[in-house]
Amino acid sequence: MTTSGAALSGHGLRLAYHGTVVVPGADVALAPGRVTALVGPNGSGKSTVLRALARLHRAEAGDVRLDDQDASALSAKEFARRVTLLSQSRPTPSGVSVREVVGYGRHPYRGRWRQDDPDGARAIAWAMEVTGVAAMAERAVDELSGGERQRVWLATCLAQDTRVLLLDEPTTYLDLRYQVEILDLVRDLADEHGVAVGVVLHDLDQAAAVADHVVLLSRGEVVGAGTAVEVLTADALTATYGLRVEVTVHDGVVRTHPVGRHVRRRRPAEPELAPL
């Protein structure tokens, strides 16, 4: 894996679908060795901003810069060697092995006839190992569970060996163990390899636990950016999500507590009966 990071940023991003503006003007910056989490309600523009940073959604205004260079000036292959995106869903190929799918991540390094990639085997093996899919390398991807396939697609992104990693809800379909392992891996990539990570998460507690920097979006606008303690406040979350959200902070760890109409409240302890 690479040992140096890159900076990726979007400035004044105005994003629309079929003429309808969904993000009027967002600024987001990803720094080497730092995990930035984008959070907010459904429809707040998180995934759209991430796709714009990946050059998959053209901005009506604003620009994306990679290492202070206009990203649009880079060729598709050059950009793919430096930035990769794990999207929410991908088509599942039929009859293709896990090893072959992870190998797709090496496309920016291969020539026309899939040659000239001397580092490919190492990168593929490393990506499968760290995501826990090495043991299923020869299995067909379409035979795997949803959680297993999610880990395979993450391995494909890691095999691309980029300095910027964009993840759109990477813990979707994963059980608790693999959610924790994926988030641990995200931290390792930032801390040990200097990768700039941008990740969309719905779970606010996960975002608070893994991210150095949190960006809170509402209706396409950035309404807060900073540390989890600074951004994930009760007032900000209650206003953004439209329901009461309580927040506790203990030793710098943020915990959020949405309060619905049927939240079970702890009953007072019943008095102990005296022995007969």
Return the H-helix or E-strand segment holding 81: none
Cα 61 to Cα 27: distance, rounded to the nearest angstrom: 12
Is residue 105 within 8 A of residue 156, CB to CB? The reply is yes
Asked whether residue 217 carries a pLDDT value surpassing 90, the answer given is yes
Q: How far apart are CA 273 and CA 153, in angstroms?
A: 58
Q: For residues 115 and 97, what is the distance between their CA atoms, to the nearest angstrom?
A: 20
Phi first, then psi: give them for residue 24, nearest 5 degrees: -75, -20
- Go through the domains of the chain in sequence order and give each one's CATH number: 8-227 (3.40.50.300)
CB 242 within 8 A of CB 229: no
Quick count: other Cβ atoms within 10 Å of Cβ 37? 28
pLDDT band for position 273 (50/70/90)? low
Share of the chain above pLDDT 90, in %: 73
Q: Does pLDDT of 276 surpass 60?
A: no
Give residue-wise pLDDT tens across range 24-61.
999 999 999 999 999 999 999 999 999 999 999 999 99
- Strands 221-226 and 213-218, by their bridges, are antiparallel
**Mean pLDDT over all residues of the chain?**
90
50 close to 38: Cβ distance less than 8 angstroms: yes
- pLDDT, position 174: 84
pLDDT in tens, 76-125: 999 999 999 998 877 888 999 999 999 999 999 886 655 678 889 999 99
Average pLDDT estimate for 198-224: 96
Q: Which helix (H) or strand (E) holds 255?
A: strand 253-258
pTM: 0.87
Mean of the pLDDT values across residues 266-274? 52
Q: Name which residue leads in pLDDT, 245 or 261.
A: 245
Between CA 123 and CA 160 the distance in angstroms is 8
For 159-179, give the secondary structure using H, E and C. HCCCCEEEEECCCCCCCHHHH
Q: Which DSSP category does 264 fall into?
A: -
Does pLDDT of 72 surpass 80?
yes
Residues in the chain, overall count: 276
Q: How far apart are CA 126 and CA 259, in angstroms?
A: 43
Give residue-wise pLDDT tens across range 124-174: 999 999 888 999 999 999 999 888 888 899 999 999 999 999 999 998 878
pLDDT score for 119: 87
pLDDT of residue 241: 96
pLDDT at 271: 54
